Structure 1
Amino acid sequence: MTRTRTLGLIGSGLIGTSLARLAVAAGMEVVLSNSRGPDSLAELVETVGGRARAATPEEAARAGDLVVVTIPLRAHRHLPVEALRGKTVLDTMNYYPERDGRMEELDSNALTTSGLVQRHLVGARLVKAFNNIGSHQLLTLARPAGAADRSALPLAGDDEAAKREAADLLDALGYDAVDEGTLAESWRSEPGTPVYTKPYLGEPPAGLGAEEYFPWYLSTPGQCVPAARVRELTAQAVRGRAGGVLPAGAAR
């Protein structure tokens, strides 16, 4: 089994930061990037550790054996198409109309979010992953292979070899993988579906107000969601109107 040696990250927000930490802990090299330039990442690189370095999005795309794109969906057209051509690209992006603006192809369910991104990234092998778990739970729920309390995450894609690469990465970072199908079926883990964030969070404290929810979301360690449960939840999903609602206090 070939392991990812270098993980490229386009996007350095909450999910990107958690993935960088997990990858460094797994012994990988990490190349971080964002839209503001490498200088803006100096503090993050220092806290993540010596295997991490900062670069431009194009440099991160070219350096990565696998590349994760974790930016607001509205910015997907800025992803470097040529640098990502031929790469396996993991897409964490979700559609939040209040942040991203309305997109008719998503509102009409003509495309999934990953279908939209794949259309832009000509020649890349896109896999939907890491889009249905909170950034803090992504860190705290990671477990070694074989652990009794190991959680699973769904993934979707049209290229079987790319999905195997993505599953290998999940395994290295501390998760089992559940194949939920093609990119056209990736809606099964999008906002509003049974497997989206809530199973990993557990029940919020009684009486928690809307303004208090997001700080709790960012700090609760969460609970194990094994592969069998992920399969059940993705199978239960019924497709509704695309798009989620950001909790009060989340970045727009």
Structure 2
Amino acid sequence: METPHRIQTLGILGAGRVGTVLARLAERAGLRVLIARSGDPAPIAQRMRAIGATAASTAAVIEESDAVVLALPLGKYRMLPAETLRGKLVIDAMNYWWATDGIRDDLSDPRTSTSELVQAHLSDARVVKALSHMGYEDLEDEARPAGAPERKAIAVAGDDADDVAVVSALVDALGFDPVHAGSLAVGIMLEPGAEAFGADVDADELRAMLDRFWDSQRGIVVARTRRGRPSYDC
């Protein structure tokens, strides 16, 4: 069986707090990092250069990267260039924030995870949910080498086993233990309103949180609206 490729060049769309932290962690992990903002990359070029990343246009980031992280406001997902992202491994690190995105029933509908909405828009891309449930300050402060005591965990959800493996290897390289949550459908367990959202815990406790989801108030609502629990399988 062929081993899934590892990410060598990581692209990031979004140069806010989350995007900047992820760029810093990826550079420390030895990856080439390309990052784009909305519009001209020149205003962030010096700031990105200082952390070892390269500011570029959205098109250049997508074209030159092995995987692209979405670190944008979720409400803008329909503006993502679906054709340009065709065939790309896309890591969805976005969350629904009503203060930023506005009141959006489509982004809070328990019948679907927000990553499924992103996948539907980017129909020919390969979307994996990751790097979304831990706060950006914890992402920066808690990164540890593999095997280090008290290493924290980050969940990964996706529909393709090879893509989940590639993203899990990235999570490990960034300094966290990857935990397989299941398919994109169960990525709702990582969204605001779920216990795992905001979690800064080790792998065992993160798995326990995911296992408890279906007995939580949010999990019961999700299961009822979906007429059962989604599959954990990729």
Normalised to the residue count of structure 1, the TM-score between the two structures is: 0.81
Name the count of aligned residue pairs: 215
Residues in 1 aligned to 2:108 and 2:68: alpha-carbon distance in whole angstroms: 27
Q: Which amino acid in the other structure matches residue 42 of structure 1?
A: A
The residue aligned with 1:70 is: 71
Separation in structure 1 between the aligned mates of residue 59 and residue 212 of structure 2, nearest angstrom:
38
2:22 is the counterpart of 1:4: no
C-alpha contact (below 8 Å) 2:151/2:177 kept by paired residues: yes
Q: Secondary structure at the match of 1:155?
A: strand
Which residue does the alignment assign to 2:171? Answer: 170
- Partner of 2:100 in structure 1? 99
Residue 160 of structure 1 and its aligned partner are, at CA, apart by: 1.1
Residue identity in the other structure for 1:98:
A
Which residue number in structure 1 is paired with residue 141 of structure 2? 140
SS in 2 for 1:41: helix
Encode CA deviations 1:46-86: one digit per residue, 9 max, x unaligned.
Answer: 2212xx21111121111111110110011111112122111
Q: What is the distance in 2 between the residues matched to 1:22 and 1:104?
A: 34
In the alignment, what sits opposite 1:222?
A: none
Aligned partner (choices 179, 197, 205) of residue 229 of structure 1: 205
Determine if contact 2:92/2:115 at 8 Å carries over to the other structure.
yes
Amino acid at match of 1:233: M
Q: Letter of the aligned partner of 2:31 in structure 1? A: M
Give 2:41's aligned residue.
38
Q: Is the 8 A contact 2:18 2:71 kept in 1?
A: yes
What is the root-mean-square deviation of aligned Cα atoms in Å?
1.6
Asked if 1:60 corresponds to 2:61, the answer is: yes
* Cα contact 2:49–2:55 (8 A) shared by 1: no
Q: Does the 8 A contact of 2:168 with 2:178 survive in 1?
A: yes
User: Where in structure 2 are the equivalents of 1:196-207 lying within 5 Å?
Assistant: 196-197=197-198, 199-200=199-200
How big is the shift at 1:100?
Answer: 1.2
Q: 1:231-250 maps to which residues of 2 (within 5 A)?
A: 231-237=207-213, 238=216, 239=218
Q: Give the aligned partner of residue 15 of structure 1.
A: 18
What's the offset of the Cα at 1:126?
0.5
| Equivalent position of 2:84 in the other structure | 83
* 1:108-159 residue CA offsets vs partner (Å, 9 max, x unmatched): 3232110111111111111111111111210111111111221110111111
TM-score with structure 2 setting the length = 0.87
> What residue is the counterpart of 2:116 in the other structure?
115
Structure 1's unaligned 5+ residue stretches are 201-224, 243-252
SS in 2 for 1:148: coil
Query: Over residues 10-46 of structure 1, what are the superposed CA-to-partner deviations in whole Å (9 max), with x where a residue is unaligned?
Result: 0111111011001111111000101032112123222
Q: Does 1:195 align with 2:171?
A: no
Aligned to 1:27: 30
| Matched AA of 2:159 | D
Residue in structure 1 matched with residue 155 of structure 2 by the alignment: 154
- Take 1:59 and 1:16, find their aligned partners in 2: how far apart are those partners? 17
Task: From the superposition, tell whether residues 107 and 172 of structure 1 become closer, same or farther in structure 2 (CA, over 3 Å).
Answer: closer
**Cα distance per residue 1:77-105 (max 9 Å; x no partner):** 11121221111110011112232123333
Percent same amino acid at aligned positions?
Answer: 41
Once residues 103 and 183 of structure 2 are traced to their aligned partners in structure 1, the CA distance between those partners, rounded to angstroms, is 24
